């Protein structure tokens, strides 16, 4: 088989069936799972350089250090975490039955579900493919992976890596465009995970519905950063800059807009200017700045800025304010979209109605904390929330009032890398969660097992309900 070729549609169901037959014939035990994860870790480490080259080629240019942090570090940490805790995760968990059922006992047994389908995105094409795969393998499943067509070199790299580590009937990879992705989502998987936009997530859920396939959807939304009046402006600007312009803003939990108290809004904008200059200089040679993934995404982002300007918002372009038409054409040809601020965009503008997924940062002012919270509550629940305050009561108030998929307080992005924290959204930002033990449980059936003893009170619970049995039932029901 040519491992670089797209997958024919008529092979998808056959491959899924092959994976499930093999799983039914021999479900991976603990030793098999450990061996699989160990081989994957070793093979991944050996292929880091080629992975880095593939990702940077797909993006046109991507910061190598961002690859190290977001792809390599995260994947290796997830593998190490799973290997360290796998024995404990697989053990049955005791469960209480209550005195009414004495002397019975109960336990919860994590059982693998079968074949897990994974539809992974382009923005972190290795991390968001392999992290859920690690959880699915740890739980004892077989896996069918469909990477994004927007990162074709990385998709082929993943297929080559996994073909080296796993037999074809344990892990398979499908390549192809939207037609392959749509057919893949409609396969009768035992669990399906999709990471991507909310709009496509709806289509994936609809495709899975006829088979009643359980789904985990890792989506997105407009993740707000709320800077309270007590928090130092310079520190907020530095940390929000990381949460916004890492990977040129192409991050599902990246800061999508900022709310800052009105009295300090202009000071915050100036602090962001200084932060950007310290990171990227004059932007003449932005080696540490990632490009936009493709021309369509670049045009979409350009349209957002044009729309905001047409609606009366102030657009601040720290590096390209005076660029002429020729310079802007060169930027577009290189898909180099410099950091851009949009001040006070209307709520019906495209930058406020849509997840930005790029290096544009709306900055909005608020009068009171209640106003800021109400603004967040007026929008769909986001995948991430970033409150900034040194006052614990303010943080508790924000977190309890503005429900999100996950929260990092006084910083950005970092909750994603904490493997004992579940990662997932709520409502339009997602369904279910992964990472660490949560990911293991997501791809397991937590099977409740109730064990009765030789002698049990339930032997008496049968008609006729009279005499002693009548008194016992009435006593138990009190």
Q: Which residues are catalytic?
A: 218, 252
In contact, 184 and 177? CB cutoff 8 Å: no
Strand arrangement of the beta sheet that strand 105-112 belongs to: 93-95, 105-112, 444-451
State whether residue 378 is helix, strand or coil.
Answer: coil
In contact, 269 and 341? CB cutoff 8 Å: yes
Q: Please, which residues bridge with residue 386 across strands?
A: 225
Pairing of strands 360-366, 142-146: unpaired
CA distance readout (Å), 64 to 57, 59, 226, 248, 285 = 11, 12, 30, 13, 15
The string of DSSP codes covering 288-353 is: TSPPPSSHHHHHHHHHHHHHHHHTT-EEE-TTTTT--HHHHHHHHHTT----EEEES--TTSHHHH
H/E stretch holding 366: strand 360-366
Q: Which residues are CB-neighbours of 410 under 8 A, at least 6 positions away?
A: 231, 239, 387, 388, 389, 390
In contact, 6 and 175? CB cutoff 8 Å: yes
Angle, CA 288 vertex, CA 286 and CA 291 arms, to 5°? 75
| Separation CA 31–CA 133 (nearest Å) | 17
Q: Within 10 Å of residue 15's Cβ, how many Cβ atoms?
A: 19
Q: Within 10 Å of residue 361's Cβ, how many Cβ atoms?
A: 27
Q: Which of 266, 274, 232 is nearest to 344 (CA)?
A: 266
CB environment 277-307: b (16+ within 10 A), e (fewer): eebbeebeebeebbbbbbeebbebbbebbeb
């Amino acid at each position: 088989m040519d491992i670089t070729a797209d997958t024919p549609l008529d092979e998808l169901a056959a491959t899924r069936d092959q994976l499930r037959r093999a799983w039914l014939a021999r479900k991976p035990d603990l030793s098999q799972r450990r061996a699989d994860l160990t081989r994957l870790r070793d093979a991944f480490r050996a292929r880091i350089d080629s992975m880095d080259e593939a990702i940077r080629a797909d993006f046109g240019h991507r910061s190598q250090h961002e690859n190290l942090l977001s792809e390599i570090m995260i994947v290796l940490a997830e593998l190490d975490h799973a290997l360290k805790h796998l024995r404990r995760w697989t053990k049955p968990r005791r469960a209480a039955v209550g005195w009414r059922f004495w002397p019975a006992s109960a336990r919860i047994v994590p059982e693998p579900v079968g074949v897990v389908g994974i539809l992974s995105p382009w923005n972190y094409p290795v991390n968001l493919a392999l992290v859920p795969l690690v959880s699915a393998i740890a739980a004892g499943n077989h896996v069918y992976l469909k990477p994004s067509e927007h990162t074709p070199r990385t998709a082929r790299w993943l297929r080559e890596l996994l073909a080296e580590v796993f037999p074809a009937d344990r892990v398979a990879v499908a390549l192809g465009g939207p037609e392959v992705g749509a057919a893949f989502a409609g396969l009768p998987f035992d669990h399906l995970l999709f990471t991507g936009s909310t709009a496509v997530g709806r289509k994936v859920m609809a495709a899975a519905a006829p088979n009643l396939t359980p789904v985990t959807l890792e989506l997105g939304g407009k993740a707000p950063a709320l800077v309270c009046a007590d928090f130092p402006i310079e520190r907020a600007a530095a940390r929000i800059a990381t949460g916004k312009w890492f990977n040129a803003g192409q991050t599902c939990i990246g800061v999508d807009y900022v709310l800052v108290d009105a009295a300090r809004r202009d000071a915050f904008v100036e602090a962001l200017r200084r932060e950007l200059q310290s990171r990227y200089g004059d932007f003449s040679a932005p080696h540490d700045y990632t490009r936009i993934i493709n021309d369509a995404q670049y045009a979409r982002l350009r349209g957002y800025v044009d729309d905001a300007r047409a609606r009366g918002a102030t657009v601040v372009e720290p590096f390209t304010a005076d660029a002429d038409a020729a310079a802007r054409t060169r930027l577009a040809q290189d898909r180099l979209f410099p950091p851009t601020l949009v001040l006070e965009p209307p709520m019906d503008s495209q930058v406020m109605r849509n997840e930005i997924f790029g290096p544009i940062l709306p900055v909005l002012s608020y009068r009171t904390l209640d106003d800021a919270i109400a603004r967040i509550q007026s929008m769909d629940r986001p995948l991430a929330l970033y409150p900034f305050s040194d006052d614990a009561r303010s943080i508790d108030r924000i977190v309890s009032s503005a429900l999100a998929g996950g929260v990092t307080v006084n910083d950005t992005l970092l909750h994603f890398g904490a493997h004992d924290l579940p990662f997932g959204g709520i409502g339009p930002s997602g369904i279910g969660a992964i990472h660490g033990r949560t990911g293991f449980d997501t791809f397991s059936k937590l099977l409740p097992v109730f064990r009765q003893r030789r002698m049990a009170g339930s032997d008496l619970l049968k008609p006729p309900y009279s005499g002693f049995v009548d008194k016992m039932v009435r006593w138990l029901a009190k």
